[in-house]
Structure 1
Amino acid sequence: MFSNMKARALVNRRIVLTPIAFVEMLLWEVPFPVRGSKHSYKYGLALVVGGVCILRYDNEAGKGDHRHVGMEEHPYRFEGVDRLIADFEGDVRRWLDEHADA
Structure 2
Amino acid sequence: MLQTPSAANNSYGRNIYAWCNTFAFEGYWPGYPDDYGPTEYECAFVHMNPKSQAGSVRLRSADPRDTPEINLRFYETGADQDLTEQLEAVRSTSEPPNFTPS
TM-score using structure 1 length: 0.28
Query: Which structure's relative contact order is higher, taking Cα pairs within 8 Å and 6+ residues apart?
Result: 2
Q: If you compute each CA radius of gyration, which structure gives the higher value, 1 or 2? A: 2
| Greater percentage in strand | 1
